[in-house]
Amino acid sequence: MATQEETFKKIVAHCKEYGFVFPSSEIYDGLAAVYDYGQNGVELKNNIKRYWWDSMTLLHQNIVGIDAAIFMHPTTWKASGHVDAFNDPLIDNRDSKKRYRADVLIEEQIAKYEDKIQKEVDKAKKRFGDSFDEQMFRQTNPRVLEHQQKRDALHERYSAAMNANDLDELKQIILDEEIVCPISGTRNWTDVRQFNLMFQTEMGSTADGAMKIYLRPETAQGIFVNFLNVQKTGRMKIPFGIAQIGKAFRNEIVARQFVFRMREFEQMEMQFFVRPGEELKWFEHWKAFRLKWHKALGLGDDKYRYHDHEKLAHYANAATDIEFQMPFGFKEVEGIHSRTNFDLSQHAKYSGKKIEYFDPELNQSYTPFVIETSIGVDRMFLSVMCGSYREEQLEGGDVRVVLGLPPVLAPVKACVMPLVKKDGLPEKAREILNSLKFDFKVQYDEKDSIGKRYRRQDAIGTPFCITVDHDTLNDGCVTLRYRDTMAQDRVKIEDLHEIIRRAVDPKELYRKIVGDRLEDTEE
């Protein structure tokens, strides 16, 4: 059995080998934490974005989209708090010269205690079998209790230090916990200091006339500064939402785990504007909706969990993450935040403009409160890849590598293959491809044995292979081969379109989320 680490390495290698993700500017040895999406990656990514976008703007009459510029007036970032507070605490190891996030080092230490507890539990489970009472074991086993006590004490001390922004205490925790640099193995640490994550550049041609501007670290602010534009021109009534998909940039100190933490990435964010006092009701609504959106893909309900925030940003009154079980543990894929009226109020203050909504039902004006759903496209992509990649042991000792992608997200929906390259089979296969190509992304493949061709499609997650043989010319039927079961059916050519449509139609997923209701956010 491959370890989780080995599995992750295989997924990364698979992404490259099959045209999903390449290191950026690879011929120059790449650029750290920046990646390019290849021919299959971009299709999968676009399908993810389409699934998200439509789930917002088609399912909800009161959610509209925008596409704001990446460059924004620099005061935006003063108002949002990013200039002063979008920092990570960093620490260097003097021997390896490597730089780390102090909070990440400590969180990894907390995770180590949790792993130790889990190992004890797993060992006991094996030993006691069906009669094992996990809850009792966790409450009474001395070794578990010892690890738990250390974990809780560390967690409490860490939370207090983070809340107080106490950098000296963060360093002291690292020293007291005897955390070593994974490269040098030493505890020769510098002090912890703050590091702003925004990339800066200059706009304008002359040195004195140039203005310092930032590459946006989140797309959300483009929505806030357009609140009045959209509300007025769209005659939007509260509650309503504005959705956006776009690039964001962060000069991450610890850039690791492939596309999980990148310096240039893409976000899908939706800000939902509500009446003050109603925000926690809507927070719960969006928390549930977003989890359903994830689970509808069918990667396994047990792969998701919420992580409610204990440490809230000063402007938030509730926040949770949706985490996915990656090979390197449960990790945040999406954040859902109740941001109060902080952002709109700050922009009103810094711009000097009144940013309010007149509520005709209440006959009063107010600054709306906001629920934000914010998901990284690349993290979503990674969760889908990790949740879909599998190696199957076949009879005869062969291993089949399959991407069991949700068909709605698969880059290629079907591949049409003539059994042989002669006797009119290629022509028939192309005729079938032409009948499907306007509705689905379909490939044609005539090279190598049919078995090899099936494997190539399995590896990129194509749900259907359509084989044209000599009988096809007489009976108008083809062999339809299903990716997941490898089962084969003989079906009529004219039925292909409907079979593929049913499997890849996002409507089925939307039904799982909202049932037969079209709008679920209008009052």
Binding site for ligand GAP (CB under 6 A): 218, 220, 250, 252, 261-262, 265, 267, 269, 332-335, 372, 374-376, 378-379
Taking alpha carbons only, the member of 232, 259, 262, 230 closest to residue 244 is 230
Q: Cα 281–287–291 angle (5° rounding)? A: 150
Torsion from C-alpha of 209, 204, 227, 358, nearest 10 degrees? 30
**398/395 Cα distance (integer angstroms):** 7
The region, left, alpha or beta by phi > 0 then psi within -120 to 50, assigned to residue 464 is: beta
Question: Could you tell me the smallest distance in angstroms from the CB atom of residue 466 to ligand GAP?
Answer: 36
Nearer to ligand GAP, 223 or 405 (CB): 223
**First vs last C-alpha separation in the chain:** 52
Question: Could you tell me the smallest distance in angstroms from the CB atom of residue 332 to ligand GAP?
Answer: 5
Question: Could you tell me the smallest distance in angstroms from the CB atom of residue 29 to ligand GAP?
Answer: 21
Question: Could you tell me the smallest distance in angstroms from the CB atom of residue 1 to ligand GAP?
Answer: 29
- Answer whether 100's CB lies under 8 Å from 90's CB: yes
Nearer to ligand GAP, 52 or 389 (CB): 52
Taking alpha carbons only, the member of 282, 334, 326 closest to residue 307 is 334
Nearer to ligand GAP, 110 or 255 (CB): 255
Nearer to ligand GAP, 71 or 128 (CB): 71
Question: Could you tell me the smallest distance in angstroms from the CB atom of residue 503 to ligand GAP?
Answer: 28
Q: Is 167 exposed, middle or buried (0-12, 13-18, 19+ CB in 10 A)?
A: middle
Nearer to ligand GAP, 243 or 375 (CB): 375
Question: Could you tell me the smallest distance in angstroms from the CB atom of residue 3 to ligand GAP?
Answer: 24
Nearer to ligand GAP, 216 or 275 (CB): 216
**224/365 Cα distance (integer angstroms):** 17
DSSP 8-state code for residue 97 = -
Question: Could you tell me the smallest distance in angstroms from the CB atom of residue 178 to ligand GAP?
Answer: 29
- Answer whether 467's CB lies under 8 Å from 490's CB: no
Helix, strand or coil for residue 8? helix
Question: Could you tell me the smallest distance in angstroms from the CB atom of residue 289 to ligand GAP?
Answer: 16
Nearer to ligand GAP, 69 or 207 (CB): 69
Nearer to ligand GAP, 253 or 417 (CB): 253
Radius of gyration over every alpha carbon of the chain, rounded to an integer in angstroms: 26
Separation of CA 62 from chain center = 24
